[in-house]
Structures are given as C-alpha cells and as structure tokens.
Structure 1
C-alpha cells in the first residue's frame, strides 16, 4: 500500500510542493494531495512519482526501507500457512499397484537419492491416474 508518510517526507526533503509535483508528472494537485494525506492507496503514476522524487516505487509502496532509486527488491518473509483438507485416498491395493509400477521404472544403477527424486517427480502424475480410474 502506498505510504503517504514516506511520500510527504520525500516531498519535503526534495523541496517539491504538491502543485509542482503535479505539474511535473501531469496530474492534478488534488490527486497529489490525496496521496499525501492517505486518501488514496496507490496510483498508476507511481513510477513517474518515484523517478521525480529520486526514489523507487518499492520504497513508496513500503516494500523496502531503502529509499535509493536502485535499491534491490527484497522479497518479504511470508509466514507459513497450514492448510487442512479432507482427501479421499484410493484403496490400499490400488496404492500398492501404483507404487509397484513406479518402482519398476526406476533405473537399477540409480542411487537412493536419485530414485527418491524420480519417485517424487512422478508421484503427482501417478496419483492423477489413480483419480482418473476411480469410480
């Protein structure tokens, strides 16, 4: 979300009035005022505003704390989300049949790690085939 506080501070630091910024980028002073007072959550002019204020859009949007125009974007840490779902599993015999078929395709000279990687890659496809065969 657009940070009106950062926006106001940069305007003051750069000595640019709201009216002057509006003239430079071609928007109404009232629009600039909405951004400065928190009356707007964003703008399609974010790149023009950032360039004029010698900062980055990411800084104005609160995505980085570095106001430098070329500051690298750092992906914010996202909390782990757990999802619980009820899943109808096929019968034990159907799963055993699927696993036997998967084991037959494994190269005999593959290491345990390589076999595990192969099985992990093929499991989604194998499970989807089970689903397709379900009554």
Structure 2
C-alpha cells in the first residue's frame, strides 16, 4: 500500500520551479533562483546579498533573510566557517563589502562616515532575539 506522504519532485530546467505531488493534491512553488549544494559561499554572495549591500552604500535600507528548517544550513550560509576565509558566509562578506565601499567613497570625495547601523535578528521557537548593534 502506498504511503500518503509519498512525494515526487519535478525540476523544470528553464524555470526555477519545484512541483511537489503528494498523493492527495498538487502544489507548485516558484523560486527566482535555486542553488545547488555545490554552490560556493563566493558564488552565493552576489545574487543573494550583493544588491542589498550596494543599495546600503547608496543610502537605502537592505535586508537579508535566511529561512528554513533546523539543520538546513542557514547559520552556515550567513556566517560560514570562522577559520577558513574561502568559506566566509554572507554576513562577513557583506560587512567587508560595505566597509570597503565606505572607505572608497571617503577616499574619493573626502566624506566621513557617521556610522553604520546593522541589526541581526534571530527568530527561534516564535521568539525574536536581537543579536547585533551599532558599529
């Protein structure tokens, strides 16, 4: 007898779409991008966080969100590995790009940086915890 939890996933090459077909109903989910397990931290940075960081350098607010079930790799994607520069995550790369961009702007036009405000939040078990502050 077939299980009611049986699922089949179809990946459509031309569209980042995953269709999950449980035995009872069909659901379709569309994604703007899909990355494989082999995607490096460096390859992940620009499409995921580059626009937010570049916007912040132009005075706009930005947001980077990692969402998923426990053990799915959110912490690794955000922070990476401390002892391996190649494995730096989104956050260290974003801060590096942000500070480098501020230094370039100051060197170009003589401006001074008043401050950068960065907030790091974690939501776990329906509880929000503030993890960062003013640099």
Structure number with bigger Rg: 1
Q: TM-score range by the shorter chain?
A: under 0.3
Higher helix share: 1
Higher relative contact order (CA 8 A, sep 6+): 1
With normalisation by structure 2, the TM-score equals 0.18
With normalisation by structure 1, the TM-score equals 0.18
